């Protein structure tokens, strides 16, 4: 299939490229930018006048809920929602059921994604067997099966010696370790940021130090073992400062933040609104601003959706009884674009944080529009105004606190490896 995209504003943050031009796609690759290749005859031509054309989005954390939780969502439903939101690659953590700690599960997920053919699904393998934090997993086998890194999802590796050995082993396999840093004892049974809001509402708190102590421990272990580490879903400004310091000292660490942490605080919980129940918890205004600043300074390299679709019942009940998480594939790009509107990021920085930077963290040759690069492309109309609600949401999970928000700008076409997988 050959596609020609004409007259769009092409943005390739990897090379700081920002120019109105045409793009030629053939056999899954970008074969020309601004210059028509010899004997090119387009099957499809897309007019992108007044639209942006940028790389397909790479989402560092989204749970398609398959295998194991198909009553919430499936790979087919969520990759379809992803395509409609300009996301061409989603990275899923290993805490599905069965857990991704052996090659069979990796192959099964890949197979389902290929069948659905809407977005690429790349798994992270389990760092420890069954995520128990006791025995390290068969990382070599997982790597050969195609995982993009190893991590323990939301489960802690309490034993520091196990964590050290897991990091050493991952380093030997040349794999990145994905760390969700949280001290399980300090977290205890908390469900909201510890502070004035949790105190007023009588909700058990998760203190900021639950995050910073775990970050401090794991940074020390990274320095000791030399492993490449990526800190997932940082929620506090202090943790961002610690990671920035480690990067300055030359440690091979990167970090991401979920889009909702850049827009919401614990104040938004209001009267126990379970849609704002997330993990890590929404923190204070200073954290929100600190995380935005970290993104600007690139101590936080990427923004992810942390997509967690739920069935209706999961969010019905008293706050702490509900399941945490937001169905957020479809708000990733809109919320990042809002940071351009608010002046926190330039357009190039915003797009880099959801394309080129996450691809680099995963070690994948994605997130760019260059000659001979894989043709994952998103076309975006920056003036289209729409509202997020149950009708416009394509994900099976409708659990979003952003319902009712109006956004300016929407994806009109998504191309996955040279194939048009979504058009509005």
Partner 1 sequence: MSYRHNIQLTSDKKLKHFLSIEGLPRAVLVKILDTAETFASVGEQAVKKVPILRGKTIVNLFFENSTRTRTTFELAAKRLSADVLNLNISVSATSKGESLLDTLSNLEAMQSDMFVVRHAQSGAAHFIAQNSPAHISVINAGDGCHAHPTQAMLDMFTIRKHFEDFYQLKVAIVGDILHSRVARSQIHALTTLGANEVRVIAPKTLIPADIESLGVHVYHDMKEGLHDVDVIIILRLQKERMSGAFLPSMQEYFQAYGLTEEKLSFAKNNAIVMHPGPINRGVEIASSIADGERSVILEQVTNGIAVRMAIMSMAMGSYSANPGVSS
Binding site for partner 1 (CB under 8 A): 194-196, 198-205, 207, 264, 268, 270-272, 313, 316-321, 401, 405
Residue 60 or 275: the one with the smaller Cβ distance to partner 1 is 275
Residue 34 or 270: the one with the smaller Cβ distance to partner 1 is 270
Cβ atoms of 37 and 78 within 8 Å: the answer is no
Residue 38 or 271: the one with the smaller Cβ distance to partner 1 is 271
Question: How far is the C-alpha of 61 from the C-alpha of 78, rounded, in Å?
Answer: 13
Neighbours of 342 (CB within 10 A): 11
Residue 36 or 321: the one with the smaller Cβ distance to partner 1 is 321
| Chain-centre distance for alpha carbon 244 | 20
Please report how close the Cβ of residue 188 comes to partner 1 at its closest, in angstroms. 9
Residue 8 or 207: the one with the smaller Cβ distance to partner 1 is 207
Residue 266 or 381: the one with the smaller Cβ distance to partner 1 is 266
Helix 237-248 vs helix 285-297: crossing angle, to nearest 10: 20
Q: Which of 306, 321, 376, 381 is catalytic?
A: 306
Please report how close the Cβ of residue 158 comes to partner 1 at its closest, in angstroms. 17
Evaluate the omega torsion of the peptide bond into residue 109 and state whether it is cis, within 30 degrees of 0: no
For strands 377-387 and 406-416, give the pairing.
antiparallel
Question: How far is the C-alpha of 266 from the C-alpha of 281, rounded, in Å?
Answer: 8
Please report how close the Cβ of residue 353 comes to partner 1 at its closest, in angstroms. 23
Please report how close the Cβ of residue 195 comes to partner 1 at its closest, in angstroms. 5
Please report how close the Cβ of residue 86 comes to partner 1 at its closest, in angstroms. 24
Question: How far is the C-alpha of 43 from the C-alpha of 280, rounded, in Å?
Answer: 46
Please report how close the Cβ of residue 190 comes to partner 1 at its closest, in angstroms. 11
Residue 6 or 320: the one with the smaller Cβ distance to partner 1 is 320
249 is catalytic: no
3-state secondary structure of 192: strand
CA-closest candidate to residue 282, choices 245, 343, 239, 325: 325
Please report how close the Cβ of residue 207 comes to partner 1 at its closest, in angstroms. 7
The runs of H, that is alpha helices, within 121-159 are 139-145
Burial label for 43, CB within 10 Å (0-12, 13-18, 19+), is: exposed
C-alpha separations of 306 from 85, 288, 360 in Å? 14, 16, 18
Question: How far is the C-alpha of 359 from the C-alpha of 343, rounded, in Å?
Answer: 25
Encoding tokens for residue 332? 């990733």
3-state secondary structure of 291: helix
Active site residues per annotation:
306
């Amino acid at each position: 299939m050959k596609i020609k995209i004409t007259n769009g504003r092409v943005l390739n943050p990897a090379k700081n490229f920002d120019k109105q031009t045409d793009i030629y796609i053939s056999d899954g690759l970008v074969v020309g930018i601004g210059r028509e290749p010899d004997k090119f005859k387009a099957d499809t031509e897309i007019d992108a006048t007044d639209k942006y054309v940028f790389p397909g989005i790479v989402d560092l954390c989204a749970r398609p809920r398959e295998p194991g939780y198909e009553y919430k969502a499936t790979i087919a439903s969520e990759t379809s929602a992803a395509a409609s939101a300009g996301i061409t690659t989603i990275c899923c953590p290993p805490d599905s059921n069965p857990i991704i700690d052996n090659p069979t599960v990796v192959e099964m997920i890949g197979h389902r994604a290929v069948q659905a053919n809407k977005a690429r699904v790349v798994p992270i393998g389990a760092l420890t067997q069954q995520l128990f934090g006791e025995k390290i997993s068969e990382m070599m086998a997982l790597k050969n099966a195609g995982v993009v890194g190893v991590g323990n999802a939301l489960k802690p590796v309490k034993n520091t010696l196990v964590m050290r050995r897991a990091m050493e082993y991952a380093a030997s396999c040349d794999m990145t370790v994905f760390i969700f840093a949280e001290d399980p004892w300090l977290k205890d049974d908390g469900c909201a940021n510890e502070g004035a809001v949790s105190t007023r509402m009588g909700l058990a708190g998760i203190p900021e130090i639950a995050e910073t102590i775990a970050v401090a421990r794991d940074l020390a272990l990274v320095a000791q073992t030399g492993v490449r580490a990526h800190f997932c879903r940082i929620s506090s400004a202090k943790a961002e400062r610690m990671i920035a310091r480690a990067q300055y000292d030359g440690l091979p660490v990167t970090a991401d933040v979920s889009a909702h942490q850049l827009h919401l605080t614990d104040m938004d919980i209001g009267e126990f609104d379970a849609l704002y129940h997330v993990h890590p918890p929404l923190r204070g205004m200073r954290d929100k601003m600190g995380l935005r600043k970290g993104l600007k300074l690139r101590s936080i390299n990427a923004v992810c959706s942390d997509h967690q679709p739920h069935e209706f019942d999961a969010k019905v009940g008293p706050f702490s009884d509900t399941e945490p998480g937001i169905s957020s594939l479809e708000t990733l790009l809109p919320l990042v674009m809002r940071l351009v509107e608010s002046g926190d990021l330039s357009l190039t920085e915003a797009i880099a944080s959801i394309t080129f930077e996450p691809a680099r963290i995963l070690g994948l040759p994605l997130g760019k529009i260059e000659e001979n690069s894989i043709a994952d492309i998103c076309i975006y109309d920056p003036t289209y105004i729409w509202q997020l609600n149950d009708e416009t949401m394509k994900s099976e999970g409708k659990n979003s606190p952003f319902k009712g928000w109006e956004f300016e700008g929407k994806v009109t076409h998504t191309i996955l490896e040279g194939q048009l997988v979504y058009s509005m």
